[in-house]
Amino acid sequence: MTEMAIDNDYADIREQVERICAGFPGEYWRKLDAEAGYPEEFVRALTESGYLAALIPEEHGGVGLPIRAAAVILETIHASGCNAGACHAQMYTMGTLMRHGSPEQKAKYLPQIASGDLRLQAFGVTEPTSGSDTSSLRTTARREGDHYIVNGQKIWTSRALQSDLMLLLARTTPLDKVAKRTEGLSVFLVDLREAVGNGLEIRPIDAMINHNTNEVFMSDLSIPADSLIGEEGKGFRYILDGMNAERILLSGEAVGDGRWFTQRASQYVSERTVFGRPIGQNQGVQFPIARAHASLEAADLMARKAAALYDAGQPCGPEANMAKLLSSEAAWAAGEACFQAYGGFAFAREYDIERKWRECRLFQTAPISTNMVLAFIAQNVLKLPRSY
């Protein structure tokens, strides 16, 4: 891992992404938020620019950039006041296919995902009864000839209605037939264009933020046997393999939100005059913004380290998880400082602060909660006794 790998800031990518985002100002996102709409135009612009195919190798029609560059893309989107939540999974969900799919699957799907002709943005893992305890999921896939029959339910499956394909984790060997709970799970690539209405139903969830999330119900859903990615029963390992990338990329989004908050707060308190002077002269106003900035810089350094390790092919689980933890908390602190600095105006939708504040809160819950990260650090890094 070199110093250059950590310091690479991709100024040209930042400039180009900022230019795209300039075409989607606050009113665009406020309208979508009010309608619970999907940002089709924004996603199309990112797709046509090639940025959603950043991690797909060039031989499969992508750009073949390192994960640090992909994180910069997402950070810049959020720092510009936009939100990549509608499409960021197009960047990393296909990682399971890229690393564990067959040559035939890669040749069939990756070029179309890179071009935007196919959307792979849905990830069916979480269930109502298991939550983060992935090894206890109840969705089953039973092999029958050249098909699998799937039964079960997924929840918080974002963008399923806007996706053509969905990665699905299901149990192919009953829990009482495996030595470890993490065994017997398999990953499938489900074609939603064929599945919806033929054993699969998608129901939107009305949520606090406009994240286009859903429940997915599967009842005797029949999918071709070649939907299986990798080996049967090895799916849990495949899913874990992609989680570090997800943590690193979402850390970039959180840092971007934090930078948006500190920039907006700094500008406002420098211009807002009360009792004859800018409120930014008061240390009680300055200090929360300054502390948030310092925390964001620290989180950014950890995210850069995690990305450098990932790109070098080295283990990065602790760094990726710590980057997610630090960036989510730093972004939230920046949001709080900005909200407090604006006072009552922060509640007005026209300033976009309350929208970004709601969106930013998600990072402490998904895709993994703060407490789950702390448990990982305690037990896997510090080697403390397991709490379960």
Q: Residues with catalytic annotation? A: 246
**357 C-beta neighbours (distance < 10 Å), count:** 21
Q: CA angle 149-243-3, nearest 5°?
A: 155
Half-sphere exposure for 102 (CA within 13 Å, toward CB): 14
Reference 340, options 387, 388, 282, 296; nearest CA is 282
Look-up: residue for tokens 């989107």? Answer: 77
Q: What is the DSSP string of 104-157?
A: HHHHHHHHHHHHTSS-EEEEE---TTTTT-GGG---EEEEETTEEEEEEEE-S-
**388 C-beta neighbours (distance < 10 Å), count:** 5
**How far is CA 365 from its chain centroid?**
12
Reference 75, options 257, 210, 211; nearest CA is 257
* DSSP category for residue 210: -
CA dist 200 and 269 (Å) reads 52
* Cα distances (angstroms) measured from residue 371 to each of 73, 95, 242, 254, 320: 28, 26, 20, 17, 15
Reference 307, options 298, 318, 295, 316; nearest CA is 316
Alpha helices in 209-234 (DSSP H): none
Helix (H, G, I), strand (E, B) or coil at 386: coil
CA dist 220 and 227 (Å) reads 16
Residue type at 330 in one-letter notation:
A
Buried residues in 155-181 as b, exposed as e (16+ CB within 10 A): bbbbbbbbbbbbbbbbbbeeeeeeeee
Reference 337, options 253, 260, 254; nearest CA is 260
At 110, phi and psi to the nearest 5?
-60, -45
